[in-house]
Amino acid sequence: MTIALSEKLKIVNDHIDEADPPIHVIPLANKLGIEVYKADWPHSVSGKIQYDPELGGQSGFAIFVNAAHPETRRRFTIAHEIAHFILHEDQIGDGLFDDAMYRSGLSSFEEDDANKLAADILMPRQLIREFSFVGDDVETLAHQFNVSQSAMARRLGVAW
Ligand SMILES: [Zn+2]
């Protein structure tokens, strides 16, 4: 079952519209027909997305995430792999392995796009506006959205 890009983005936007922070990324993957698994890997590997008729969800795809990484990191990895599914499904081939720097063999341009969409998923600007209060600092917002403080600082465009 292949879903059109517009349909995938609608699923993401509907998920975000219904959400209070933090955004739950595994249910979002499931809505896109993807199953998510933890994997025992060295720290140098972040995650993988692959076509897997056995372990994959309705879409046929499965995401694997490094079980040893902290939760905020795992959430970013899952969002990044979801982004590859949305933007680069036709290039996943036998599987995309993202190292610790989120390099998978795709171009750095495509990895940047995946990182940007991952940030849009985890830290929607609309929700940040809605759920932050004057004086909220990076630490508070990072906690609220369950992301790393450095990711939130980048999102807000403040030095960290
Ligand atoms: Zn990647």
- Cα–Cα distance, 78 to 84 (Å, whole number): 10
Write out the two tokens for 155.
């999102």
- Condensed to tens digits (0 to 9), the pLDDT of residues 68-126 reads 999 999 999 999 999 999 999 999 988 999 999 999 999 999 999 999 999 999 999 99
pLDDT digits (tens, 9 = 90+) for 117-137: 999 999 999 999 988 877 789
Which domain, by its residues, includes 44? 5-124
Tell me what pLDDT residue 1 has: 59
**Ligand 1 mean position to 1 CA, how many Å?**
22
What gap in Å lies between CA 20 and CA 76, rounded to an integer? 17
| 108 domain residue, yes or no | yes
Mean of per-residue pLDDT scores for the chain: 94
What CATH code is carried by the domain that includes residue 49?
A: 1.10.10
In a domain, 99, yes or no: yes
Structure tokens at 30: 């499931």
Residue 53 located in a structural domain? yes
**How many structural domains is the chain composed of?**
1
Enter the pTM of the model: 0.95
Q: Is residue 144 part of a domain?
A: no
> What is the whole-number distance in angstroms between the Cα of residue 96 and the centre of ligand 1?
7
Residue 91 lies in a domain: yes
> Ligand 1 centroid to 80 CA: how many Å?
6
In a domain, 67, yes or no: yes
Q: pLDDT tens across 146-160, in order? A: 999 999 999 998 876
